[in-house]
Structure 1
Amino acid sequence: MSNIIYSLEEIHEAIAFLRKGESSKLYCFYGGLGAGKTTLIKALIADLGAVDAGSSPTFGLIHEYFDAAGNLLAYHLDCYRLEGEEEALDLGIEEILGTDCYVFIEWPQRIAGLLPPHCTDVYLEIKGINHRKLSLGRSG
């Protein structure tokens, strides 16, 4: 497993590291509260060229991002508040996982049984007040 330590000011280096090690458009982000999952995902989505973010009717669990032409670019799922895999199925997770766009999932361990075999696994760890350790693994 390869890794990088970065600060918020160095987030573009972390994004380049992620993109270079990408094994799938499905990214699963692991890390405790405050590890920087959401911040990194938002920076990654911006780097991909998202120009507009719209919330689906699922009240913050699923966000859709579009490119300048209005095409769906990425989904961002925050599974922290999900009660289980059945709730994820009710939200349409199977359709989202079957798309050809990028899918970024926080707290994927809450829906582990629904994930396809190939994902880009991202592990974040707090390393002091201003630094994070990003480790990249590949499942599948």
Structure 2
Amino acid sequence: MKGGESKAEATSTDQRLKTRGRKPGKKTKKDPNQPKRPPSAFFVFLEDFRKEFNLANPNNKSVATVGKAAGARWKSMTEEDKAPYVAKAESRKTEYLKTMQQYNMKLASGTNRGEEDDSDKSKSEVDEAGSEEVFMQEEEDDD
């Protein structure tokens, strides 16, 4: 075959394309207590722009239209116009880094792990274990 791959070459390519390090369908669980990442300067700008745009266009229900208009305005803005949004984004980022550091300290000390271990055990498992102990005690009392 001219220019075609052999079966050995095709399978090696398939092996490289597979996800590495985890099985398909298995996702890592995200901690709900983990702080959310801070918004970029554009998203800080977008918060204000949405309010203005919705006041100017009350009948617009399209999210895409708002996003396109915001993107066009952001591109046309000068660095001086963007400066307040960049400053807000930087302050939010520093706050995020502080809260993330506190969060990591909590994880390192293990305060969250104890709560998760207790919540993983279902009440039925706890009840079954407790009822087995009671059952065993009753048999000993009967003897």
Q: TM-score, normalised by structure 2?
A: 0.21
Q: TM-score, normalised by structure 1?
A: 0.21
Bigger proportion of residues as strand: 1
Bigger proportion of residues as helix: 2
**Whose RCO is larger (CA < 8 A, sep 6+)?**
1
